[in-house]
Structure 1
Amino acid sequence: MIRLMLVDDHAVLRDGLKNILDLESDIKVVGEAVSGMDALSKVPDLMPDVILMDINIPDKNGIEVTGILKREYPAIKILMLTMFDHDEYFMSAIREGADGYLLKDAPSQHVIEAIRSVARGQSVIAPSMTKKFLNFQQKPAEAPKEKKDELLTEREREVLLCLVQGMNNKEIAQELFISDKTVKIHVSKIFKKLDVKSRSQVVIYAVQNQLVPLP
């Protein structure tokens, strides 16, 4: 059962989402928050598996709250659900550790599947944001001063490619003929070496710095 928390200041949207999600046997809405501070105060008691987070909320915005929660509770998955399709919001959310980024015009079934995907450890990016994401390949970021990618072993590069292709740990283990535990170790080392906090973040870093072929 996926324990889900809704963070949005619009009651109609929260109620609509809750009504839809209540029909799913594997998802349970365990709490709601109407502002950044409200979310931060409730998370320690609710400890959800996934948080569906709006960006434009009172007090602290959703991106700020995501950064705080990812530092304090890195195991909690955070899926942004917003009306903003601007590059700066998208990249800021990913930098703060968001596990996915969806737009509010997404069909409800896409939102449901995205919740399941991030709960499994996969990253989710709205289709309309994918072009912006892949454009980083044509406009690569300045090379990191420490050449972080050179620290990766050959096996870690193979795991990184699997991450970019959207595989979860079990799928990576099957692809590379290694154990789930070994995959977790490699993923943890990749995150540390590349100084990233989430799968979405490591995927964007890899594409932006041309560490792997385009998926």
Structure 2
Amino acid sequence: MIKVLLVDDHTILIDGLKSLIGLEEDIVVIGESLSGVDVLEKINDLTPHVVLMDINMPHKNGIEVVFEIKAVYPGIKVIILTMHNHDEYFLSAIRSGADGYLLKDAPSHQVVDAIRSVSQGESVIHPTMTKKLFDFHQQKQFTPKHEDLTEREKDVLFCLLEGLSNKEIAKKLFISDKTVKIHVSKIFKKLDVKSRSQAVIYTIQNRILPL
């Protein structure tokens, strides 16, 4: 059973999330908080697997709380669920250690799937944020930098940040689907990640791109 702690200063949203999660057989809400002040105390008392949290909260914002959670309880997974689609919020949250970043307009099933994914060690990023991240880099003419990646692997990694599928990457780089799969596999191995979302998050947290 995946135990979830909800943190948001809007009781209506918390009630809605409790109702949504209550429909799932493998996930349970074990607690809630209306501010970021007592989150560490509740984690200590309730031992959740996943914390689902907003950014804007009274007294202490979600990004600060993510940093504190990861410093004291590195094994706890944290998903930011927010209305903010600004680059600075997204980048700050990921750099603070967030395992996922979803917007509040995400479909209900996406929120539930995200809880399952992060509890299994995966990372989740709202598609809008992945696209915005790519646009931001493109405007700044940034290129990936990592001493272990080949130039072609850097090209493929950049396409992953754009959110392209293997077929789209193959078409853009004029290579075969099979070659793309090989490059993606090597990138995952070199970055020690298991998914595209994890590759994006690793890239941000380890500053492979000069953000």
Considering the TM-score relative to the shorter chain, is it more than 0.5?
yes
**Aligned counterparts, 1:34-183, within 5 A:** 34-139=34-139, 149-150=146-147, 152=148
Please give the per-residue CA displacement for 1:83-137, whole angstroms capped at 9, x wherever unaligned: 1111111111011011111111111111111111111111111121121122355
2:203–2:209 Cα contact (<8 Å) kept: no
Q: Distance in 2 between matches of 1:37 and 1:199?
A: 31
Q: SS at 1:44's partner residue?
A: helix
Q: Distance in 2 between matches of 1:96 and 1:199?
A: 16
Q: Distance in 2 between matches of 1:96 and 1:206?
A: 11
Q: Distance in 2 between matches of 1:32 and 1:38?
A: 10
2:36 counterpart of 1:3 = no
1:36–1:62 Cα contact (<8 Å) kept: yes
Higher relative contact order (CA 8 A, sep 6+): 1
The range that moved more, 129-138 or 18-27, is 129-138
Per-residue deviation, 1:205:
5.2
Per-residue deviation, 1:22:
0.9
Aligned to 1:14: 14
Per-residue deviation, 1:187:
3.8
Q: What stretches of structure 2 of length at least 5 have no aligned partner?
A: 164-183
Q: SS at 2:31's partner residue?
A: strand
Q: SS at 1:79's partner residue?
A: strand
Aligned to 2:32: 32
Q: How many residues align?
A: 178
Q: Distance in 1 between matches of 2:143 and 2:131?
A: 22
Q: Distance in 1 between matches of 2:205 and 2:22?
A: 36
Letter in 1 for 2:25: S
- TM-score, normalised by the number of residues in structure 2: 0.71
Letter in 2 for 1:45: D
Larger Rg: 2
Matched-pair identity in %? 53
Q: SS at 1:24's partner residue?
A: coil
Q: SS at 1:36's partner residue?
A: coil
Aligned to 1:180: none
Letter in 2 for 1:100: G
Letter in 2 for 1:110: Q
Per-residue deviation, 1:203:
3.7
2:70–2:76 Cα contact (<8 Å) kept: yes
1:2–1:26 Cα contact (<8 Å) kept: yes
**Aligned counterparts, 1:181-196, within 5 A:** 187=192
Q: What stretches of structure 1 of length at least 5 have no aligned partner?
A: 167-174, 177-182, 189-197, 211-215
2:30–2:46 Cα contact (<8 Å) kept: yes
What's the C-alpha RMSD, in Å, of the aligned pairs? 3.4
